[in-house]
Amino acid sequence: MDLQRRPQIYLIFFICLFTASCADKKEPDVSHIKVDLSIERFDKELSALQPAQVSAKSPQLKQKYGHFYADFMESILGVGPVADSSYYPQLRTVLNNSDYKELAKEVNAKFPDLDEQQAELTDAFKHIRYYYPETKIPRLISFFSGFSVQTPVGNDYIGIGLDMFLGADSKFYPAIVQSIPQYISRRFTPENVAPRVVEAFIREDLFPANDADRSLLSRMVYNGKVLYMMDAVMPDKADSLKIGYSTEQMKWAERYQPEVWAYFLENNLLYETDYLKIQKYLTDAPFTPGIGEDSKSAPKLGVYLGWQIVKKYMERNPDLGLQGLMKETDAQKILNGSKYKPR
């Protein structure tokens, strides 16, 4: 055999194996699944409301939007209880406010429609219905509130705070850096709408966290399961969007995964239950304190490692399926079954 040709032959053989492996991972066909989903534009209806029309039109909006309207006025906008008309003066004040008008203008300009986001969410909920056919699709209602909340989950709805998806270059975000730092607002982009809605639905409606699970390991695995489900129902979304990493943070986490795992083991962190000690590995931040050099580490590394553990567990248990994974509540069993040893 010509030795000069061997590398090329091996390369072709490797490509064939890789292609076959990828072909085995078929995405489910969801084209036949019906999902009637639309994003209701409360933001447009409210921004079109003139102060002089409050008495006449507020009852109509209250009737149309139900639980959301009450939650929005009372808890988000904070103009008062909606049981009677006593909140009307406060609502008129908001509608007359120049900052409110400027924000409404910006939201309308950035989101003249939500067709792209609606298509992405329709596909995601088709995937959710594929795995969980009895799932009730929530009402999706867009709004803006002055940067108070992004995706609130209510009695029968998920809200979409469009003012918190205006794009990283929005003129508003530098002005609110004291309350919402840049490392958070950089993710306030239109492409984050669908992932954040789906994540909120999984965490709040489908699989809420068990408050009794206090160890770092249990919280890592829970978060890993949420992200794995996002993999399943949003197969075309980038991993960085699902977890909320920048490209650089994603590369850092991938590169230093073995060292981070070793750090967790050496410091006996997996079974730590003191939230003050473990929260820095689970919550968002510019970086993870104590890990890496020059404050360049990725944040919430416990979440990232939990995701990798769950992926390994499912690779070793391919017949379990998504439903089987989400039913499994034993984090130790998942860790042991994953045989997770990053290198």
DSSP secondary structure letters along 43-100: HHHHHT--GGGHHHHHHHHHHHHHHHHHHIIIIIS-----SSGGGHHHHHHHHH-HHH
**Residues 89 and 145 grouped into a single domain:** yes
Helix (H, G, I), strand (E, B) or coil at 21: helix
**Residues 43 and 187 grouped into a single domain:** yes
Residue 13 lies in a domain: no
**Residues 167 and 257 grouped into a single domain:** no
**Residues 224 and 162 grouped into a single domain:** no
Residue 127 lies in a domain: yes
* Domain tally, the chain: 2
214: left (phi over 0), alpha (psi -120 to 50) or beta: alpha
Residue 275 lies in a domain: yes
Radius of gyration of the CA atoms of the chain, in A? 23
**Residues 53 and 128 grouped into a single domain:** yes
- Amino acid type, 168: A
Cα dihedral across residues 216, 217, 222, 227: positive or negative: positive
Q: How many separate helices (H) and strands (E) can be counted in the chain?
A: 16, 3
**Residues 160 and 49 grouped into a single domain:** yes
Cα dihedral across residues 112, 115, 120, 124: positive or negative: positive
Residue 18 lies in a domain: no
For residue 25, the model assigns a pLDDT of 56
**Residues 177 and 237 grouped into a single domain:** no
**Residues 60 and 152 grouped into a single domain:** yes
**Residues 175 and 279 grouped into a single domain:** no
Pair 196, 150: CB distance under 8 Å: yes
Residue 9 lies in a domain: no
Q: Which domain holds residue 226?
A: 216-338
Per-residue pLDDT of the chain in tens (343 residues, 90 and over written 9) = 333 333 333 333 333 333 333 434 578 999 999 999 999 999 999 999 999 999 999 999 999 999 999 999 999 999 999 999 999 999 999 999 999 999 999 999 999 999 999 999 999 999 999 999 999 999 999 999 999 999 999 999 999 999 999 998 899 999 999 999 999 999 999 999 999 999 999 999 999 999 999 999 999 999 999 999 999 999 999 999 999 999 999 999 999 999 999 999 999 999 999 999 999 999 999 999 999 988 999 999 999 999 999 999 999 999 999 999 999 999 999 999 999 999 8
For 111, 116, 165, the CA distances from 193, given in Å and listed in that order, are 12, 10, 7
Residue 30 lies in a domain: no
Give kind and range of the element (H or E) at residue 141. Answer: strand 139-143
Four-point Cα dihedral 68, 71, 77, 81, nearest 10: 120
Q: pTM here?
A: 0.91
**Residues 236 and 321 grouped into a single domain:** yes
